């Protein structure tokens, strides 16, 4: 059950709900309202499509008593009866013919199947068929049920239904959104096995939101698993809904969120595995040489003829890729997300050394506003954060633009924001950039490393 804003109990709600069970029709559906705006209350009652009228009215009657007992002071509430035969809902907002997929209730089946892939394929076939039948069933009842066969002659029972005041297109859209949650859900045991029980040997890194592990699924697919270390303040349903929204953010310069896994207090996010790791390893991990927009990195010995392995990075391509990814998050995505922790460690490089932004949407997954405003909990890395965000918690898309500028400075200088070395002096890279921009002299903040390269090769 979902409860929201607390107000004084209203006689309108009691009067409205007391009339529902006796007025529900043979199709198992009834919607009604009472009162004048802004105090008007709306209610919907729905019984499962295969339930007889007497059983339906009895179920609605029980559900009405229960919802008034559990939620006597709420503006809106929804309750699924324990018998799974009916649902009752009321709200101070207009809810008739309105598509909503939240809140959601999941009744997990604890039985095992021998082949998850085959079972899901057979289940999808059954549900797709039911969706079409239910969606276009008519204006009085949108309901369909059938029996299908799964792997090993397993019987699968399927049922789909929505309130008949929804249009057929709305029903299909709602069903697709609910199905998305299922496709994004990973079995916790499978992920634990894929990471060798979250072993230190598979640890890729650690950030403010949790530890990231490398993993390999039974089908051979490599994944990155973020084991969240903080309490999001959200329930499982809200968390799942946010995962679905973030997973829909698709761009070539964003790391793809594949899904999630839950078990008890454990919350895992499963991402695509990006081969070459994060940009900071290339910028600050034994960097030797930078010239003509190409960075070179000394890695471990791999061939007998030389003790150096070199990888070239096109800085222009990386900067452009990060810019395109941030533009998508700010302007072109449906969520309009502010990253709030853009830095070299959150820019990953694929096999072709293209930039992919990671950790976007994390503030949203932790129940925080994601567009603009003030926050008491500053999420980010000092040095990359805009002053108004670091000092006062004020953030907007401009906060990411500031962080992007810091990242560009690090890329063109090859030095960390908080440990810039100018000759024998250790300075702040931002201060150096500002001072030398003022005097139109950028060379001090972009020194060549040719001497370092020659010394190591000697």
Under CATH, what is the fold of the domain 189-272?
Answer: Phosphorylase Kinase; domain 1 (3.30.200)
- Reference 125, options 102, 156, 103; nearest CA is 156
The boundaries of every CATH 1.10.510.10 domain in the chain are 279-457
pLDDT recorded at residue 196: 96
- Cβ contacts of 247 within 8 Å, gap of 6 or more: 180, 184, 256, 257, 258, 259
226 belongs to an annotated ligand binding site: yes
Identify the DSSP state of 386.
Answer: -
Interatomic CA distance for residues 47 and 51, integer angstroms: 7
Determine which helix (DSSP H) or strand (DSSP E) holds 120, and give its type and residue range: helix 116-135
Class of domain 11-91: alpha beta
pLDDT recorded at residue 387: 76
Mean pLDDT by 10 residues, the chain (458 residues): 43 83 91 86 93 95 92 86 91 81 65 78 85 80 90 88 79 59 83 95 84 92 87 64 79 91 88 90 58 38 32 75 93 81 90 89 58 54 74 80 88 73 61 66 48 37
CATH classification code of 279-457: 1.10.510.10
Query: Reduced to 3 states, what is the DSSP secondary structure of residue 193?
Result: helix
Angle 45-49-55 from CA coordinates, rounded to 5°:
70
Question: Which residues participate in catalysis according to the annotation?
Answer: 341
Burial of 102 (0-12, 13-18, 19+ CB in 10 A): exposed
The boundaries of every CATH 3.30.200.20 domain in the chain are 189-272
Interatomic CA distance for residues 227 and 289, integer angstroms: 36
The boundaries of every CATH 3.30.430.20 domain in the chain are 11-91
Interatomic CA distance for residues 302 and 128, integer angstroms: 52
Query: Reduced to 3 states, what is the DSSP secondary structure of residue 315?
Result: helix
Kindly write down the DSSP assignment for every residue of 216-275, as one continuous string: E-TTS-EEEEEEE-S--S--HHHHHHHHHHHHT---TTBPPEEEEEEETTEEEEEEE--T
119 neighbors 154 (Cβ within 8 angstroms) = yes
Strand order in the sheet with 41-47: 29-34, 41-47, 86-91, 77-80
122 neighbors 150 (Cβ within 8 angstroms) = yes
Interatomic CA distance for residues 75 and 56, integer angstroms: 25
């Amino acid at each position: 059950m979902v409860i929201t804003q607390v107000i004084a109990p209203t006689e309108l709600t009691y009067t409205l709900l007391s009339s529902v069970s006796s007025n529900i029709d043979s199709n198992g559906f009834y919607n009604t309202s009472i009162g004048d705006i802004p105090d008007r209350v709306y209610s919907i009652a729905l019984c499962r499509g295969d339930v007889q009228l007497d059983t339906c009215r009895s179920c609605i009657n029980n559900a009405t008593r229960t919802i008034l007992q559990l939620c006597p002071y709420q503006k809106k509430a929804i309750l699924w009866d324990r018998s799974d035969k009916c649902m009752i809902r009321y709200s101070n907002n207009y809810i008739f013919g309105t598509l909503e997929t939240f809140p959601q209730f999941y009744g997990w089946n604890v039985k095992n199947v021998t082949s998850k892939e085959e079972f899901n394929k057979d289940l999808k076939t059954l549900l797709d068929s039911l969706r079409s039948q239910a969606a276009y069933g008519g204006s009085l009842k949108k309901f369909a049920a059938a029996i299908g066969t799964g792997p090993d002659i397993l019987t699968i029972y399927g049922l789909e239904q929505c309130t008949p005041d929804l249009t057929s297109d709305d029903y299909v859209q709602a069903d697709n959104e609910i199905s998305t949650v299922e496709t994004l859900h990973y079995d916790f045991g499978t992920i634990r096995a894929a990471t060798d029980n979250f072993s230190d040997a598979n640890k890729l890194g650690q950030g403010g939101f949790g530890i990231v592990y490398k993993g390999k699924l039974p089908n051979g697919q490599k994944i990155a698993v973020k084991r969240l270390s903080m309490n999001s303040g959200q329930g499982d349903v809200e968390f799942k809904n946010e995962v679905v929204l973030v997973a829909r953010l698709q761009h070539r310069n964003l790391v793809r969120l594949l899904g999630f896994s839950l078990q008890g207090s454990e919350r895992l996010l499963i991402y695509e595995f990006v081969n070459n790791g994060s940009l900071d390893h290339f910028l600050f991990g034994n960097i030797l040489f930078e010239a003509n927009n190409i960075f070179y990195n000394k890695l471990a010995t791999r061939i007998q003829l030389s003790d150096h392995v070199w990888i070239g990075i096109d800085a222009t391509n990386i900067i452009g890729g990060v810019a395109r990814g941030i533009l998508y998050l700010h302007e072109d995505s449906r969520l309009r997300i502010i990253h709030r922790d853009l830095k070299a460690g959150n820019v990953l490089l694929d096999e072709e050394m293209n930039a992919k932004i990671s950790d976007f949407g994390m503030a949203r997954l932790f129940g925080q506003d994601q567009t603009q405003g003030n926050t008491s909990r500053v999420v980010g890395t000092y040095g990359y954060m805009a002053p108004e965000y670091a000092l006062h918690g004020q953030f907007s898309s401009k906060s990411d633009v500031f962080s992007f500028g810091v990242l560009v400075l690090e890329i063109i200088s090859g030095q960390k924001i908080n440990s810039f070395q100018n000759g024998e002096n250790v300075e702040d890279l931002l201060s150096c950039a500002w001072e030398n921009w003022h005097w139109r002299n950028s060379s001090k903040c972009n020194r060549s490393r040719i001497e370092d390269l020659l010394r190591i090769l000697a």
